[in-house]
Structure 1
Amino acid sequence: MERKRHHVVVVGGGIAGLAAAWYLGRAGDRVRVTVLDSAPRVGGKLLAAELAGVQVDVGAEAMLARRPEGKELARLAGLGDELRTPGTTRGAILTRGTPRPLPAGQVMGVPSDLGALARSGILSPGGLARTPLDLVLPATLIDTDVSVAAYIRARMGAEVVDRLVEPLLGGVYAGRVERLSLDATMPKIAMAARSERSLLNAARHIAAEAPKDAGPVFTSLHEGMGSLPGAVAAASGALVRTGVTVRELRRTGDGWRLVTGPVPDPEVVEADAVVLATPATPTSRLLAGEAPAAAAELARIEYASMAIVSLAYPRAAFPRLPEGSGYLVPAVDRRPVKAVTFSSVKWPHLAEADPDLVLLRCSIGRLGEEAVLQREDTELVALATAEMAEVMGVCGLPLDSRVTRWGGSLPQYEVGHLDRVARIRAAVADRPGLALCGAAYDGVGVPAVISTARTAAARILDHLDPAGEWRKEESKAR
């Protein structure tokens, strides 16, 4: 008797969807996978482009090296030899017009060493004096999730929040610490907040427990993180269709029906199972009829927009070459540029590509600052070049520039996010052959997103193959 070959459709061709397709492929010829994406290309927020003749990332430019999922997938896709480590990760905070190095021992901006904090020069004398009061203040009781700002401000004062924690979290989420969830964005700090009275002591313990010889924190690829999606898509063996919008998802007797294409000329795609690897808003629309409770929760996840302005300068334009990887800008300073990365300093392989260039990228836009993103590309480039002239003393105009806009790209993990995700998953748990993955759930970094994809693929394969034969196939493949 011929064994049935199941058809799984993955909606969304970002790294989450492509990773899901790869993991689904572990079942061998038991499953055929189709990836549908409305964009003209795959990759989502991973994109590389040419700048002054050098291939650079204009989306996410690194992934955590200390989580295994990203590096593992790169190796499985044939890019193991392409992994690169940064030349430096020494970051800074722009304070009073000068980039000042982050204090040693900080935990996502929370200081653990008062001496290092004082030497950094980031806080004012008043802010420095307020910080150690954490050691004598009564406990700040937390029995539910709270905002990052509410808890850390109560312990260490406003300046630690505004000039250390907010810039670091803003670099990840482009969000506001007044709204971001402590549990979801700073889980180690949140756990300590429920067991220790002093945040300073808690940060000391976390910093002391951090592995000292675990290697670089970040990694990237020689041709940029933007080279990962294409490699994963090719290695997955899936049929990848771009420019295809899924408008409707309906459960059938033994599977799912997806409606794609324009309304006057729809195309129906039948599937035994579906993985939704789309952002929260389109996922909400697709689930409105089949899982309305999940759809309602997904609709409440807000997204921030931003733009990356990539610049290439001749080395001679800098009176002094940057020494660190870049700097972050506190939102309280109300500058349009929120972060600067000196790409050819951070990544030596970029400097080797053209030693006469300094390549950098400026991030513009936070949640609530959409107005600045409505400006023309030339205006955004002008903002970035003015930043370089003022802060770094750069002379003249860049040799090349590129503006890449990321509208609605960063999900906001606001207070209550973990409970919301739990409710979403509970609402789809009894929908056989349906799984969700992506940045809206358990983390916005590449390894975290890949982890959700692996979990989603396992859920689908367990549904299609309850006997677990696919796991035997996977073992053989490895």
Structure 2
Amino acid sequence: MGKSIAIIGAGITGLSSAYFIKKLRPDVDVTIYESSNRTGGKIQTYRKDGYTIELGPESYLGRKQIMTDIAQEIGLENDLVTNQTGQSYIYAKNKLFPIPGGSILGVPTDIKPFLKTKLISPKGKIRAGLDLFKKPTKMDGDISVGAFFRERLGDEVLENLIEPLMGGIYGTNIDDLSLMSTFPEFKQREEQFGSLIKGMRHEKIQRQKQRQLYPGAPKGQFKQFKHGLSSFIEYLTEYVVNQGVEIKYQTPIKDIIITQNNYEVISGENKDTYDSVLVTTPHQTFMQWFGNDPAFDYFKSMDCTTVATVVLAFDEKNIENTYDGTGFVIARTSETDITACTWTSKKWTFTTPEGKVLIRAYVGKPNDTVVDDHTDEELVNIVKKDLNQMMTFKGAPDFSIVNRLPKSMPQYHVGHINKIKSIQTHIKQNYPKLRITGASFEAVGLPDCIQQGKNAVEELLAEL
């Protein structure tokens, strides 16, 4: 009798895990359980009247090749699109400043643009330069992103450059955010070269050399698809179903029970038996099944940030934007509710009909309640009020969309990486042939989710 694996959750991690199982072991039976009526999880593309609008993730980091590889295999190779490059800005001191050229996530690697920027005072620039003479930062296993970059580059660079760019990615206060769970490569470069600036300059040179190998390649870092990220989900869903994967929609799981040799997955009145189980849900869901195990207590106290994406579509005559760029992030010292904004019609020209302007703003900071406290209409007004500081609205938007993602961003506090390693060891020892993946453990970007699923699949198949 053939082996069987149940996958809980049909988001990008669950679907790509099914893809890898069938690629590596076509003989294994795969069933995906999905509580909603659709695949894709947080990925959701709204298509209407010539608009292609992402309500969840906007794109993925192109240098993480794993997602592109799958896209090419499932028939989307001609639909891949790279973002338009343009100036990005930081909103600080009530003004938009261009991000200094040559910086990598805010770390300066070119002296000239850094010296020219008015975002940092002369004193702040001198303080950042001390990084070149400091010994590597001491830490006991982990350190906060804030403490590390403050030690290397000083308060001003941290608050006006590093924090706006890094804090938003993880929805976590930068003084709580674990360096080793998020940006360990910065610590590695600092130790390798004796200075963060020297290390990141080396990184920049390596990236330039890589680009020279492909002289005709687009300059943009991010990738998308002509018909939005949902097209990746639609193609991947069809692909795995054609490989024999069964997807059970609107089938929430009541419990997962370990027996002597296998697992019982209980949904509604049904009880199905599998050799192996892969859980790809948020921790708020999987704690229903593992909450009685004290080894999982860490997830009970895990903070999560609630965010919302607010999309505004305008006729171009109703908005005046004098900045030539693709968007901006906001320093936490600024008194705005939005954390970032993308001028989507500039960054992704395929998303918007001619003569129209599309803007995506992001609302929701760690430990604030602005998204919970306001209606959709109020959130739209909050966004318009904030954006009025950077651009001029001459008329109302043609339409607006608000997409709320409650408690969707787990906060990786200092020490997260060791706690997760301990939990994963416990799972391997006490739940053989079962793995749990997802953003609560690691992986925020879409290719990271896919990679995490692939790693779990390889481990499970080795145990089958």
Give the structure-2-normalised TM-score. 0.91
Paired residues of 1:250 and 1:258 also in contact (CA < 8 A): yes
How far the C-alpha of 1:59 sits from its partner, in A, is 0.7
How far the C-alpha of 1:417 sits from its partner, in A, is 2.2
Report which stretch shifted further, 178-187 or 306-315: 178-187
Equivalent residue runs for 1:291-306 within 5 Å: 292-293=294-295, 295-306=296-307
1:62 maps to 2:36: no
Corresponding residue to 2:170 among 161, 173, 176? 173
| C-alpha separation in 1, matches of 2:433 and 2:386 | 50
1:241 maps to 2:238: no
| SS of residue in 2 equivalent to 1:282 | helix
Deviations 1:181-239 (CA, angstroms, capped at 9, x unpaired): 11122122111344454333333233333344435311011111122222212211222
| C-alpha separation in 2, matches of 1:361 and 1:427 | 41
Paired residues of 1:315 and 1:321 also in contact (CA < 8 A): no
| C-alpha separation in 1, matches of 2:337 and 2:19 | 39
AA at the equivalent of 2:11: G
Paired residues of 1:147 and 1:182 also in contact (CA < 8 A): yes
Paired residues of 1:65 and 1:217 also in contact (CA < 8 A): yes
Paired residues of 1:306 and 1:365 also in contact (CA < 8 A): yes
| SS of residue in 1 equivalent to 2:389 | helix
How far the C-alpha of 1:89 sits from its partner, in A, is 4.9
| SS of residue in 2 equivalent to 1:122 | coil
Aligned to 2:428: 429
| SS of residue in 2 equivalent to 1:325 | strand
1:358 maps to 2:383: no
How far the C-alpha of 1:35 sits from its partner, in A, is 1.1
Aligned to 2:377: 378
Corresponding residue to 2:273 among 270, 294, 315? 270
How far the C-alpha of 1:433 sits from its partner, in A, is 1.7
Equivalent residue runs for 1:401-412 within 5 Å: 401-412=400-411
| C-alpha separation in 2, matches of 1:194 and 1:161 | 19
1:452 maps to 2:452: yes
1:312 maps to 2:313: yes
Aligned to 2:202: 205
Q: % of aligned pairs identical?
A: 27
How far the C-alpha of 1:53 sits from its partner, in A, is 4.3
Aligned to 1:467: none
Deviations 1:122-171 (CA, angstroms, capped at 9, x unpaired): 22344234322333455532342100111111222111111111111123
Q: CA RMSD in A?
A: 2.1
AA at the equivalent of 1:398: P
Report which stretch shifted further, 385-394 or 167-176: 385-394
CA pair 300-75 structure 1, distance change in 2 beyond 3 A: farther
CA pair 334-321 structure 1, distance change in 2 beyond 3 A: closer
Aligned to 2:214: none
| C-alpha separation in 2, matches of 1:108 and 1:268 | 49
CA pair 26-447 structure 1, distance change in 2 beyond 3 A: same
How far the C-alpha of 1:373 sits from its partner, in A, is 3.6
| C-alpha separation in 2, matches of 1:57 and 1:357 | 16
Corresponding residue to 1:221 among 212, 222, 225? 225
| C-alpha separation in 2, matches of 1:182 and 1:27 | 34
Where has structure 1 moved over 6 Å in runs of 4 or more? none
Give the structure-1-normalised TM-score. 0.89
Corresponding residue to 2:153 among 153, 156, 177? 156
Structure 2's unaligned 5+ residue stretches are 212-216
Deviations 1:350-404 (CA, angstroms, capped at 9, x unpaired): 24xx111111100000111123442000011111222332211232211111000
CA pair 51-399 structure 1, distance change in 2 beyond 3 A: farther
Equivalent residue runs for 1:455-466 within 5 Å: 455-464=455-464
| C-alpha separation in 2, matches of 1:213 and 1:206 | 11
CA pair 209-301 structure 1, distance change in 2 beyond 3 A: farther
Paired residues of 2:71 and 2:232 also in contact (CA < 8 A): yes
| Total equivalences in the alignment | 453
Deviations 1:241-271 (CA, angstroms, capped at 9, x unpaired): 232221211111221012223xxxx332221
Equivalent residue runs for 1:33-48 within 5 Å: 33-48=30-45
Aligned to 1:117: 114
CA pair 39-248 structure 1, distance change in 2 beyond 3 A: same
